[in-house]
């Protein structure tokens, strides 16, 4: 069911044209069989492993009627993904990013040379070593960086160790910017920043913050949004939803004394912990689509900071046009 109260509140302030920088597209045949254990261990795999292009567009029209949607789309970045087939499907979108293939970097470089390919998506799931020891340069190798620097195309990056102001993340990002000065990096989920100080520290430590763009998907902390705008400026914030994950009814929230920074959902998933489900059933917090929760928080922050219409339009549209060289 649509939550019309949330919808109306959001439609009252959101720009009438948006460019969503974070969407996944792909079909079940584009990945190998997902085991029950895999679905229990990974939220993304359990919720978001399939989304047809047409379905993405249809759901957006339902949730945000009257809004003209432009969007970037890329494949689901799971180890089970058949990268070549998944990239071919994403290429059917108007603004595709291709998924980096570490087993065939030449193939990735060739795709990045295609003019209609707008950028690169990389992810740590493809690195076959201890999860705690994976670094940015493991899944964003210099072969990819060279091509991005040459073509002036952006990369959508999930930092491995959250938040982005972790010492190793900062040192690697500063190294990348020093060696590849034309690189533009989009930090998915605002670099995993969970607190105001995460944003403050990142802005102070990044030597080339002018080439960093913070993408908003799944961030629902008013403090993080507000500090990001203050520290990086509206020209470095990019709206993103992370569909189809964001179409789930749920909320990233803290429940003092019970759970901290958990994704509480209306529906039970394979990864849902028994205690979390029990807390939800006992407390029944108000839940709507994650898309609405995020936009509701953003709207409150914009109002509090008295963000002007032209700056809203930057965040929701014009910054994407600039980053994508459209």
pLDDT at 283: 87
Q: Which CATH number do you get for residue 177?
A: 3.20.20.140
Per residue in 65-102, pLDDT tens? 999 999 999 999 999 999 999 999 999 999 999 999 99
The label of the residue with tokens 């190294």 reads: 175
Classify residue 261: in a domain, yes or no.
no
Classify residue 274: in a domain, yes or no.
no
Classify residue 10: in a domain, yes or no.
no
Instruction: Give yes or no for residue 146 having a pLDDT over 80.
Output: yes
Average pLDDT score over residue span 228-235: 96
Classify residue 224: in a domain, yes or no.
yes
Classify residue 118: in a domain, yes or no.
yes
Average pLDDT score over residue span 219-226: 92
Per the prediction, the chain carries an average pLDDT of 92
Classify residue 282: in a domain, yes or no.
no
Which of these, 104, 91, 96, lies nearest to 153 by C-alpha position?
96
Lowest-pLDDT range of 25-34, 162-171, 188-197, 218-227? 162-171
pLDDT at 255: 62
Classify residue 26: in a domain, yes or no.
yes
Number of domains, the chain: 1
Grade residue 56 by pLDDT with cuts at 50, 70 and 90: very high
Contact 232, 205 (CB under 8 A): no
This prediction has a pTM of 0.94
Structural domain boundaries, residue 89: 17-248+289-323
Contact 23, 243 (CB under 8 A): yes
Classify residue 264: in a domain, yes or no.
no
Strand order in the sheet with 185-187: 97-99, 119-121, 155-157, 185-187, 212-215, 237-238
Average pLDDT score over residue span 176-199: 93
How many CA atoms lie less than 13 Å away from 31 in the CB half-sphere?
Answer: 20
Alpha helices in the chain (DSSP H): 4-11, 36-41, 43-47, 53-63, 83-90, 105-112, 136-139, 142-151, 167-179, 196-205, 222-232, 274-283, 290-305, 309-313, 319-323
Sign, CA torsion 267/24/237/141: positive
């Amino acid at each position: 069911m649509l939550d019309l109260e949330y919808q109306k509140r959001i439609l009252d302030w959101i720009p009438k044209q948006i460019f969503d920088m974070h969407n996944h597209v792909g079909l079940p045949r584009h990945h190998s069989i997902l085991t029950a254990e895999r679905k229990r261990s990974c939220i993304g795999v359990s919720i978001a492993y399939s989304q047809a292009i047409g379905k993405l567009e249809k759901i957006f029209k339902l949730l945000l009627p009257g809004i003209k949607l432009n969007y970037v789309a890329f494949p689901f970045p799971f180890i089970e993904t058949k990268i070549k087939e998944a990239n071919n499907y994403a290429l059917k979108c108007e603004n595709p990013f291709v998924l980096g293939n570490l087993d065939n970097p030449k193939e990735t470089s060739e795709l990045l040379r295609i003019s209609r390919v707008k950028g690169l998506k990389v992810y740590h799931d493809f690195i076959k070593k201890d999860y705690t020891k994976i670094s940015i340069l493991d899944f964003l190798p210099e072969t990819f960086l060279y091509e991005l620097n040459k073509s002036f195309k952006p990369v959508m990056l999930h930092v491995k160790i959250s938040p982005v102001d972790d010492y190793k993340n900062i040192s690697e990002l500063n190294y990348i910017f020093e060696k590849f000065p034309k690189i533009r990096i989009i930090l998915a989920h605002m670099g995993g920043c969970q607190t105001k100080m995460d944003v403050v520290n990142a802005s102070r430590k990044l030597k080339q913050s002018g080439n960093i763009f913070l993408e908003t998907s799944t961030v629902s902390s008013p403090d993080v949004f507000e500090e990001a705008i203050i520290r990086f400026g509206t020209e470095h914030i990019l709206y993103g939803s992370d569909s189809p994950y964001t179409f789930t009814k749920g909320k990233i929230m803290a429940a003092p004394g019970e759970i901290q920074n958990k994704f509480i959902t209306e529906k039970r998933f394979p990864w849902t912990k028994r205690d979390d489900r029990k807390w939800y059933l006992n407390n029944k917090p108000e839940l709507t689509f994650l898309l609405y929760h995020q936009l509701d928080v953003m709207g409150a922050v914009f109002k509090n900071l008295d963000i002007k219409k032209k700056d809203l339009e930057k965040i929701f549209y014009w910054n994407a046009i600039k980053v994508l060289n459209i």
